């Protein structure tokens, strides 16, 4: 009898010891979030070590819109990535930091980042979680110490709750901040609801001008071809309207910003910048990495006749833009009506969801 009692006691003790870490503690449960991939989009390779959860996304959104991330609590990520401007900086050529410093590159739109592998115009960040922390400490942006931000967040009860909901406890770390902001930004989509998407779905028609623009966009610029083309699709083709590569599109004969070359140290990368998506392009003026063009008309005019043939590392895909046509005309040789048609088509890529989806908006 005593032997049986001892055995039972021993077993209970073992169970108690093995469960000691979790005794009386609720398991951490999060709510999985399924990214609604727009029709026709390729499947994204989402980070396996940072699964999307409602709690993580909401924390990320709070951080994204909270000016507490900056030195003087005057700027948030959303200050320079305004959803009303396709998550760019309010039409500005360059963003202005907390101390009035002006940047040297145009604010990039933040939609469809789930399909990107490298971030910033020069690709210096290999992940969205790293990218999201960089502007905090950047001296011409938020100019704040990330560890100081951690201290500030730890003092806020709402962040203690939000970090607990997302990660199981209220510990604030730069890594967790990055993971949460990565989750939020991965959910920002542009696609499926633009006029172009409705046309592809067969629920809306394009005007004659927009149709001509689409034909030109997807057409090859080739003197042997019976139809004109603008060669846009080589770099901006597919459902995402970007090839995600880094290329020199021939803006300058003499490079003043090395772009990717500054990151890799390779002269063969000088002048290369990330090819941006053209979705929501109507929202995101001005254009190019340095915001040199204020309008889409100026962009088209540049591609039509002004690509610099001797620009170092001019991408081979630009060969059609520097060809000489019969009569000695160099470039795409598009008429004014054709250039206007291209702009009309580009305007069909506008998806107002970035402005209206409550998930993307400032929670404060």
Partner 1 sequence: MKKFAVSLLAVSLLFASCDPDPKPEIVNLEVVIQPVFGSANSPVVYNSQQFPMGIDTVKFTRNDFIFSDFALLDEQGNRVDIRNEYAFLSLPDRNSFTLPTSITPGQYSGFAFTIGLDSTINHGDPSLWGGTHPLNPAVNNLHWGWTGGYIFAAMEGYYQKDGAEHPWLYHIALNENRMDVVVETPLDLTDFKTLTLNLDLEGFFKAVHSLSPNEDGDFSHSTFDNGLAHKLSENLSQSFRFASLENQTP
The count of chain residues that interact with partner 1, using the rule CB under 8 A, is 38
Does 1 engage in binding with partner 1 (CB under 8 A)?
A: no
CB of 97 to partner 1, least distance (A): 33
CB of 133 to partner 1, least distance (A): 24
Does 316 engage in binding with partner 1 (CB under 8 A)?
A: yes
Kindly tell me which of 103 and 271 has the beta carbon lying closer to partner 1: 271
* CA angle in degrees (0–180, nearest 5) for 31-33-34: 145
Does 262 engage in binding with partner 1 (CB under 8 A)?
A: no
The only residue of 54, 96, 200, 263 in contact with partner 1, by rule CB under 8 A: 200
Does 238 engage in binding with partner 1 (CB under 8 A)?
A: yes
Does 237 engage in binding with partner 1 (CB under 8 A)?
A: yes
Nearest to 47 by CA among 177, 240, 184, 183: 183
The only residue of 315, 344, 348, 353 in contact with partner 1, by rule CB under 8 A: 315
CB of 310 to partner 1, least distance (A): 6
> What is the rounded distance in angstroms from the CA atom of residue 313 to the CA atom of residue 271?
7
CB of 233 to partner 1, least distance (A): 6
Q: Give the count of beta carbons closer than 10 Å to the beta carbon of residue 265.
A: 9
User: Cα 262 vs. chain centroid, distance in angstroms?
Assistant: 21
Under DSSP, the state recorded for 89 is -
Longest pairwise C-alpha distance within the chain = 110
Does 50 engage in binding with partner 1 (CB under 8 A)?
A: no
Which sign, positive or negative, has the C-alpha torsion 196, 201, 205, 209?
Answer: positive
Which sign, positive or negative, has the C-alpha torsion 200, 206, 209, 210?
Answer: negative
Does 41 engage in binding with partner 1 (CB under 8 A)?
A: yes
Does 42 engage in binding with partner 1 (CB under 8 A)?
A: yes
Kindly tell me which of 157 and 328 has the beta carbon lying closer to partner 1: 328
CB of 312 to partner 1, least distance (A): 9
> From residue 228, how far is each of 172, 215, 233, 325, 333 by CA, in Å?
57, 9, 14, 12, 9
**Per-residue contact flags (x/-) with partner 1 for residues 78 to 117, judged by CB under 8 A:** -------------------------------------x--
> What is the rounded distance in angstroms from the CA atom of residue 72 to the CA atom of residue 68?
8
> What is the rounded distance in angstroms from the CA atom of residue 319 to the CA atom of residue 306?
13
Kindly tell me which of 173 and 211 has the beta carbon lying closer to partner 1: 211
Does 243 engage in binding with partner 1 (CB under 8 A)?
A: yes
Say what angle helices 146-154 and 174-186 make with each other, to 10 degrees.
Answer: 90
CB of 187 to partner 1, least distance (A): 16
Q: Phi/psi of residue 208, each to 5°? A: -60, -40
Kindly tell me which of 104 and 233 has the beta carbon lying closer to partner 1: 233
Does 174 engage in binding with partner 1 (CB under 8 A)?
A: no
Q: Which residue has the tokens 């003092």?
A: 155
Q: Which parts of this chain interact with partner 1 (CB under 8 A)? A: 37, 39-46, 115, 200, 214, 218, 220, 222, 224-226, 233-234, 237-240, 243-245, 268, 309-310, 314-320, 323
């Amino acid at each position: 009898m005593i032997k049986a009692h001892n055995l039972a006691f021993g077993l209970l003790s073992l169970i108690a010891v093995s469960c000691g870490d979790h005794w009386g503690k609720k398991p951490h449960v999060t709510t999985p979030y399924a990214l609604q991939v727009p029709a026709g989009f390729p499947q994204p390779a989402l980070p396996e070590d940072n699964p999307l959860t409602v709690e993580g996304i909401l924390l990320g959104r709070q951080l994204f819109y909270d000016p507490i991330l900056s030195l003087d609590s005057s700027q948030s990520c959303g200050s320079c990535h305004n959803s009303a401007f396709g998550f760019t900086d309010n039409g500005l050529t360059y963003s202005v930091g907390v101390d009035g410093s002006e940047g040297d590159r145009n604010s990039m739109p933040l939609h469809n980042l789930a399909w990107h592998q490298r971030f910033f115009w020069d690709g210096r960040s290999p992940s969205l979680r790293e990218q999201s922390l960089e502007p905090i400490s950047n001296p011409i942006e938020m100019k704040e110490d990330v560890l100081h931000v951690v201290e500030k967040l730890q003092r806020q009860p709402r962040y203690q709750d939000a970090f607990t909901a997302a990660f199981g406890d209220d510990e604030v770390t730069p890594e967790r901040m990055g993971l949460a902001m990565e989750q939020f930004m991965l959910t920002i989509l542009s696609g499926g609801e633009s006029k172009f998407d409705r046309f592809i779905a067969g629920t809306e028609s394009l005007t004659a001008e927009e149709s001509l623009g689409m034909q030109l966009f997807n057409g090859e610029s080739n003197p042997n071809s019976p139809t004109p083309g603008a060669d846009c699709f080589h770099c901006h083709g597919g459902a995402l309207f970007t090839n995600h590569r880094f290329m020199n599109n021939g803006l300058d004969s003499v490079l003043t910003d090395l772009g990717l070359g500054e990151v890799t140290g390779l002269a063969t990368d000088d002048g290369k910048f990330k090819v941006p998506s053209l979705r929501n392009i109507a929202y995101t003026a001005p254009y190019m990495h340095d915001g040199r063009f204020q309008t889409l008309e100026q962009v088209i005019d540049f591609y039509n006749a002004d690509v610099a043939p001797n620009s170092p590392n001019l991408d081979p895909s630009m060969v059609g833009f520097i060809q000489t046509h019969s009569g000695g005309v160099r470039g795409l040789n598009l008429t004014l009506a054709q250039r206007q048609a291209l702009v009309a088509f580009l305007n069909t890529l506008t998806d107002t969801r970035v402005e209206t989806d409550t998930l993307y908006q400032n929670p404060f």
